[in-house]
């Protein structure tokens, strides 16, 4: 069975890149959001509209994450849940989350949240760049190849 791409879509800046890679590899894409988003009309792209509420889209994605899934998200707690479930997980900037990196990513997220809430840091993350887009495409391609190898039965 081919890998599937699950996109945490509300604020994802690389949806078009996901569609292109998915089309090249003939992979199913689930665009998960709590509002209706534009997406190409294609039988391999499915829009999943979840109810409003905290973590509803995250829960939908996390309950379906497994070794045959590639999850695209900038949400670190969701990434941690999906890594734990065995999915390939990558951020829109191309950073791949795995067992070795997710603990540090969670710690940094929590530290930055504490610093922001205490007023020590103002502002948000850096802007999304063409370099980030390129890194994402490379990382997604690697994840597709690795997921295919993982799903291929030994002969």
Contact (CB, 8 A) for 53 and 34: yes
Alpha-carbon distance values, 2 to 5, 36, 98, 125, 153 (Å): 10, 26, 20, 34, 12
> Could you tell me the CATH number of the domain that includes residue 49?
3.40.50
pLDDT at 139 over 60: yes
Q: Which tokens belong to 103? A: 């603990």
- The fraction of the chain above a pLDDT of 70, given in percent, is 84
pLDDT at 96 over 70: yes
pLDDT at 154 over 60: no
Q: Which range of residues forms the domain containing residue 115?
A: 4-151
Q: Which of 23-27, 78-82, 119-123, 134-138 has the weakest average pLDDT?
A: 119-123
Residue 60 CA to residue 63 CA, distance in Å, equals 6
Q: What is the DSSP letter of 5?
A: E
Residue 68 binned pLDDT confidence (cut-offs 50, 70, 90): confident
Residue 100 binned pLDDT confidence (cut-offs 50, 70, 90): confident
Per the structure, the count of domains in the chain is: 1
pLDDT at 5: 97
pLDDT at 83: 95
pLDDT at 152 over 70: no
Of residues 95 and 151, more confidence is placed in 95
């Amino acid at each position: 069975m081919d890998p599937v791409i699950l996109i945490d879509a509300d604020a994802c800046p690389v949806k078009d890149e996901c569609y292109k890679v998915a089309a090249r590899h003939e992979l199913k894409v689930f665009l998960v959001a709590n509002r209706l988003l534009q997406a190409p009309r294609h039988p391999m792209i499915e829009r999943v509209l979840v109810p409003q509420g905290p973590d509803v889209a995250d829960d939908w994605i996390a309950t379906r994450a497994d070794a045959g899934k590639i999850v695209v998200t900038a949400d670190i707690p969701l990434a941690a849940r999906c890594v734990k479930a065995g999915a390939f997980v990558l951020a829109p900037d191309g950073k791949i989350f795995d067992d070795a990196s997710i603990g540090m990513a969670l710690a940094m997220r929590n530290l930055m949240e504490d610093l922001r809430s205490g007023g020590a840091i103002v502002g948000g993350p850096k802007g999304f760049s063409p370099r980030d887009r390129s890194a994402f495409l490379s990382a997604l391609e690697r994840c597709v190849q690795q997921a295919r190898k993982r799903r291929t039965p030994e002969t």
